[in-house]
Amino acid sequence: MKKQAAKTRSKEGKKPEIPVVDVYSLSGKKVDKFKLSPDVFSAEVRKALLHQVVVMHNANQRQGTASTKTRAHVRGGGKKPWRQKGTGRARAGSIRSPLWRGGGVVFGPHPREFGFSMPKKMKRLALISSLSAKTNDKEIMLLEKDLELAQPRTKDVAKILTALKLYNKRTLLLYPKRNENLIRSCRNIKKLTVRLYDDFNTYDVLSNSMVLFSRETHDSIVKRLKKK
């Protein structure tokens, strides 16, 4: 028991390793290496928490507008189809019975709210877990600098993605401050998701193959997710 307790303490006290990733220029060349924040990009990957957050995201996307009519809502059926006895047929009180074609629906769906929420702390830990999982899988790429566009031009962004070998690959591009030219340039490129550093979530990270951002954006992400 004492040995197990000692092992547990050593694991808990062990500091996370500092992950190092390559830094690329906009022309697709390796120019440097960069140390990511271990608190955000080398934390424990909590798979159960990631599952909860993805389920929450999908549930919140549901419209919940499916609706069916019960026999109370179907038009007609006020008159008894035939007399109760003497016809040789089964008893019937309304042509809008669920047993009849054109009748009401039993236990059918009705408009409802499927969405639910989670504590902010759980969302933050899930986002850190997703980024750490991407780091472990070597699916994070750093840019030397952010994309600077004088005017909206999809061709320029496509050229950069091609140089980085990310064109036509599910990619999440994060940027540090709102850039309307960048947003308008990226919205016509398939499989490219663009998010502000404080506006992306766990589902955005997990649903893309690569996460792309600059060193400046890295600092903004760490500042957002740093423990208060």
213: amino acid identity, one letter:
F
Residue 8 and residue 86 share a domain: no
How confident is the model at residue 8, as a pLDDT? 44
Residue 28 and residue 15 share a domain: yes
**pLDDT band, very low/low/confident/very high, at 174 (cuts 50, 70, 90):** very high
Q: What is the pTM of this model?
A: 0.82
Please determine, for residue 148, whether its predicted confidence score (pLDDT) is greater than 90: no
Please give the residue that has the higher pLDDT: either 149 or 46. 46
Residue 125 and residue 23 share a domain: yes
Residue 15 and residue 85 share a domain: no
For 152-170, the pLDDT digits (tens) are: 999 999 999 999 999 999 9
Residue 195 and residue 163 share a domain: yes
Contact of 214 with 221, CB cutoff 8 Å: no
Contact of 121 with 201, CB cutoff 8 Å: no
Residue 173 and residue 143 share a domain: yes
Residue 141 and residue 37 share a domain: yes
Its domain, for residue 76, covers 68-108
What's the total number of domains in the chain? 2
Which 3-state string (H, E, C) describes the chain? CHHHHHHHHHHHHCCCCCCEEEEECCCCCEEEEEECCHHHHCCCCCHHHHHHHHHHHHHHHCCCCCCCCCCCCCCCCCCCCCCCCCCCCCCCCCCCCCCCCCCCCCCCCCCCCCCCCCCHHHHHHHHHHHHHHHHHCCCEEEECCCCCCCCCCHHHHHHHHHHCCCCCCCEEEEECCCCHHHHHHHCCCCCEEEEECCCCCHHHHHCCCEEEEEHHHHHHHHHHHCCC
Residue 127 and residue 93 share a domain: no
For 74-133, the pLDDT digits (tens) are: 999 889 999 999 999 999 999 999 999 999 999 999 999 999 999 999 999 999 999 999
Residue 191 and residue 146 share a domain: yes
Domain end, chosen from 108, 129, 164, is at 108
Q: How far apart are alpha carbons 207 and 133 in whole angstroms?
A: 12
Residue 57 and residue 74 share a domain: no
